[in-house]
Amino acid sequence: MESLYPWYQVAWDISVEEGMTDFETCSGFKQQVADELCLDILSGKIECWTHDYTPIRKIITIAELRLNTPHLTVIVANDWLKSRNYLYQWSPALEPKTGQQAVIDFSKLATAEQLIRVFGTATGMNKAWFNGNYSKKLDASRVFKGIGGNSPMPAYYCPMKVLTWLTSEKRGGRLSNKNGWSLLERHFPKVYEEHASADPR
């Protein structure tokens, strides 16, 4: 039985293997591959499995992808790369090196709509923030830029980075650390668990 790997590992491993050390080049490459691969997984165009080898043979939603990470075999991933005209062969890293991170873990991210629901009342955050005066500030916390077209996906942001900005002195203290961390713990438990040691309460 072939080994399975999380779908998001493909882009990272290739960028490391090819020695992409320039941040913008590496980040841009990973984002492009991740976007394309994610879209094909969601639309059911690529063969994949759950971690326990249960086949995924259907169109899935972004919520389903976040709940149960699709996994690929090396053969399937390399066939996909070839079909997309990438001149790379993927060889999975045996173990992550220091400082490596998964390209995208959607279970720890949030859409603009989710962020507005959580932080909107306390800060006045609304849709205009993501397209207007605050867009550059929020772009710094954006992990997944989103996909347009017939099968659109929204952009995804890091709630921890958003919280850090919202509670900063530059924001005028409109959201207190106590209230902000309380909201993070309640609505983004996975993110909170990862950063709990920094909780100032």
Domain residue extents for the chain: 5-94, 107-198
Q: In which band, very low, low, confident or very high, does the pLDDT at 75 lie, cut at 50, 70 and 90?
A: very high
CB atoms within 10 A of CB 26: 17
41-50 pLDDT, tens digit per residue, is 989 999 898 8
Distance in Å from the first CA to the final CA of the chain = 49
Query: 23 vs 188, which has greater pLDDT?
Result: 188
Non-local CB neighbours of 74 within 8 Å, separated by 6+ positions: 2, 3, 5, 90, 91, 92
CA distance 137 to 129: 9
CA distance 138 to 66: 22
Q: Model pTM?
A: 0.54
161-174 pLDDT, tens digit per residue, is 999 989 886 654 57
CA distance 200 to 1: 48
